[in-house]
C-alpha cells in the first residue's frame, strides 16, 4: 500500500480494518513532508508531537473496540485560515503572526470528531487576497509540477500539499476561485459548495470578537485526489452548526451513483469576452465529445444573457462593501444602505438567470481559469495566455462567476497542456445540488484519467 498517495477513503478503511495503524499513516505523510516541503513550501506549521499523540490515541481506541468515525486515524492538514486550538492561524498576515484561537472552528471540530488527526497547516496568500500563495510570514509556495510556476491561491499550499502526497485532504476557502484555481493548477480535485452550505465561523481570524466581515460569496470546501474523498469530506463539514446563522437547513445528501447515459451536460469552451488558453478550450471540447460518445446528452451551452464582466465587477464591489463595513473605524463616507440593497438586487438577477439555465441541464462543463499554472510574478503583472498578455485580474473569472451566483462548482483534473502542466476543468450545477454534482464528476472520472502524481513524487 502506497500510504502517502492513498485516498482518504482508502486510508480510513485500512486503519479501521487494522491493515495499517494511524501512527503508520502519520509516519508516511510526515516523511513526505520532510522529503519535499523544503522545495515547494506548502506546509508552514507542523504539530508533529501533537499529531503523534492523537494518532496513538486513535490506535488505542481501536484496540479497545471503539467504534471508529469516518476519518478515524487519518492524518490531514488545513489551510492556514481555520481557527485551531493550540495551533497558530495567521492567514499569512504579520498582525496575526502569533494568533492562537481558544477553540476550533466548526469545520475543524467536525473533522476531529470524525476521527481525523490534524498534523499541519498549509500556506496561503496574504489575507487570502491573491491567486498566488505568497506572504511575508512564510514566503512562496511553488507548484509540485514545476517549481517555477505558482501553485495558485489563496489555497495554494493546500492544493500543492495534496498533490505532493503530504496530506490526503485539506479544506480551502473560495471567494473568487480560491479552491478551484489552485486545484486545477496542481492537478487535484476541489469543491466549492453552494453559498451558506458550510460554516464560515472561525474560518477567518477575528481576534477580540471582531465582526465577521465575510458573509457572502465565500465558501469552504474540500481538496483531495478523488471525487469519493470530496464527497466524504463534504458530508462531514456541511450543514448547520449552531454558530454560523447564515447556514441553510438543506439536507446534506449522499453522492448518488449515476449513469452517464441519463445525464444532460452542456459545455462552454470559453465565455464571451473571457480569454482562455487553447489547450484548455480544447480539453473542454474533447471531454464533451467523449461524454457524447458514451451516451450522454451533450450540447454547446447557450449561456444566460448576462454581462459576466459586470457580474465580476459587482462581485468585487460587494466584497469591498463587506470589508469596509467590518473595519473598526469605517471610512468617512461609508457605503450607504441603498447601495448595498441595489448591489444585492443586481446579484439576485444573476442567481435567478443561472437557476433557470440549470432547469434544463444537470451540469455545465467549462474552464476553471484562463490558463494553467503561470510563472511566479508580481500581483497585477500581465499573464501570458497563448503568447498574448492578459489582465492578471481576469485570471479567476470563470470560477468567480459562480461565487457571484452562489452555485456549486468543482474542479476536476483532465490531462496536461503542451508544457506538461495539469489542466483543470470545471463542473457547475444547480444550487444545493452538491451530491448530484459530485455523482456526475464520479461518473466522468474514468474518462479524464483522474489524479496523476507529479513527476518526482
Burial class (CB in 10 A: 0-12, 13-18, 19+), 364: buried
Neighbours of 302 (CB within 10 A): 10
Rounded to 5°, angle at Cα 122 from 121 and 126 = 115
Tracing cell 492513498 back to the chain, one arrives at 6
Burial class (CB in 10 A: 0-12, 13-18, 19+), 294: middle
CB 84 within 8 A of CB 118: yes
Length of the chain: 457
406 is catalytic: no
Give Cα 382 distance to the centre of its chain.
24
The active-site residue, picked from 6, 21, 45, 79, is 79
The active-site residue, picked from 6, 7, 129, 154, is 154
- Using DSSP, state whether 162 is helix, strand or coil: helix
Tracing cell 507542523 back to the chain, one arrives at 46
154 is catalytic: yes
Could you give the CA distance from residue 364 to residue 368 in angstroms, rounded to a whole number?
Answer: 12
How distant, in Å, are the alpha carbons of 10, 174, 191, 274, 283 from that of 70? 11, 25, 19, 41, 35
The 8-class DSSP code of residue 153 comes to S
The active-site residue, picked from 21, 105, 155, 178, is 178
Could you give the CA distance from residue 246 to residue 249 in angstroms, rounded to a whole number?
Answer: 10
The 8-class DSSP code of residue 85 comes to B
19 is catalytic: no
Which residues are tagged catalytic? Answer: 79, 154, 178
Amino acid at each position: 500500500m502506497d500510504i502517502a498517495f492513498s485516498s482518504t477513503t482508502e486510508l480510513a478503511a485500512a486503519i479501521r480494518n487494522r491493515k495499517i495503524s494511524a501512527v503508520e499513516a502519520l509516519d508516511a505523510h510526515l516523511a513526505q513532508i520532510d522529503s519535499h516541503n523544503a522545495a515547494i513550501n506548502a506546509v508552514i506549521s507542523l504539530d508533529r508531537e501533537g499529531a503523534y499523540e492523537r494518532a496513538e490515541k486513535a490506535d488505542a481506541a481501536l484496540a479497545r473496540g471503539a467504534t471508529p468515525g469516518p476519518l478515524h486515524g487519518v492524518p490531514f492538514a488545513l489551510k492556514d485560515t481555520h481557527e485551531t486550538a493550540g495551533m497558530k492561524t495567521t492567514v499569512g498576515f504579520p498582525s496575526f503572526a502569533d494568533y492562537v484561537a481558544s477553540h476550533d472552528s466548526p469545520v475543524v471540530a467536525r473533522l476531529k470528531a470524525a476521527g481525523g488527526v490534524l498534523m499541519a497547516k498549509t500556506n496561503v496568500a496574504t489575507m487570502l487576497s491573491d491567486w498566488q500563495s505568497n506572504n511575508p510570514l512564510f514566503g512562496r509556495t511553488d507548484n509540485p509540477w514545476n517549481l517555477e510556476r505558482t501553485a495558485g491561491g489563496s489555497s495554494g499550499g493546500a492544493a500543492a500539499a495534496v498533490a505532493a502526497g503530504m496530506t490526503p485532504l485539506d479544506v480551502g476557502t473560495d471567494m473568487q476561485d480560491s479552491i478551484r484555481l489552485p486545484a486545477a493548477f496542481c492537478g487535484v480535485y476541489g469543491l466549492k459548495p453552494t453559498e451558506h452550505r458550510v460554516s464560515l465561523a472561525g474560518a477567518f481570524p477575528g481576534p477580540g470578537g471582531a465582526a465577521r466581515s465575510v458573509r457572502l460569496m465565500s465558501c469552504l470546501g474540500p481538496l483531495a485526489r478523488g471525487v469519493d474523498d470530496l464527497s466524504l469530506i463534504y458530508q462531514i463539514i456541511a450543514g448547520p452548526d449552531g454558530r454560523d446563522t447564515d447556514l441553510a437547513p438543506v439536507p446534506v445528501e449522499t453522492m448518488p451513483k449515476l449513469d452517464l447515459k441519463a445525464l444532460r451536460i452542456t459545455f462552454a469552451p470559453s465565455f464571451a469576452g473571457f480569454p482562455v488558453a487553447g489547450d484548455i478550450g480544447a480539453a473542454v471540447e474533447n471531454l464533451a465529445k467523449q461524454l457524447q460518445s458514451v451516451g450522454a446528452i451533450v450540447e454547446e451551452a447557450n449561456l444566460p444573457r448576462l454581462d459576466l464582466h459586470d457580474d465580476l465587477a459587482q462581485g468585487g464591489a460587494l466584497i469591498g462593501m463587506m470589508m469596509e463595513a467590518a473595519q473598526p473605524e469605517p471610512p468617512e463616507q461609508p457605503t450607504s444602505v441603498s447601495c448595498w440593497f441595489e448591489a444585492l438586487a443586481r446579484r439576485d438577477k444573476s442567481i435567478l438567470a443561472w437557476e433557470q439555465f440549470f432547469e434544463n441541464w444537470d451540469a455545465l462543463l467549462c474552464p476553471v481559469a484562463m490558463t494553467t499554472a503561470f510563472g511566479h510574478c508580481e500581483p497585477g503583472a500581465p499573464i501570458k495566455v497563448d503568447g498574448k498578455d492578459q489582465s492578471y485580474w481576469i485570471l479567476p473569472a470563470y470560477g468567480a462567476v459562480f461565487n457571484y451566483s452562489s452555485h456549486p462548482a468543482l474542479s476536476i483534473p483532465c490531462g496536461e497542456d503542451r508544457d506538461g502542466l495539469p489542466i483543470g476543468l470545471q463542473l457547475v450545477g444547480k444550487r444545493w445540488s452538491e451530491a448530484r454534482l459530485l455523482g456526475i464528476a464520479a461518473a466522468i472520472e474514468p474518462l479524464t484519467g483522474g489524479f496523476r502524481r507529479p513527476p518526482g513524487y
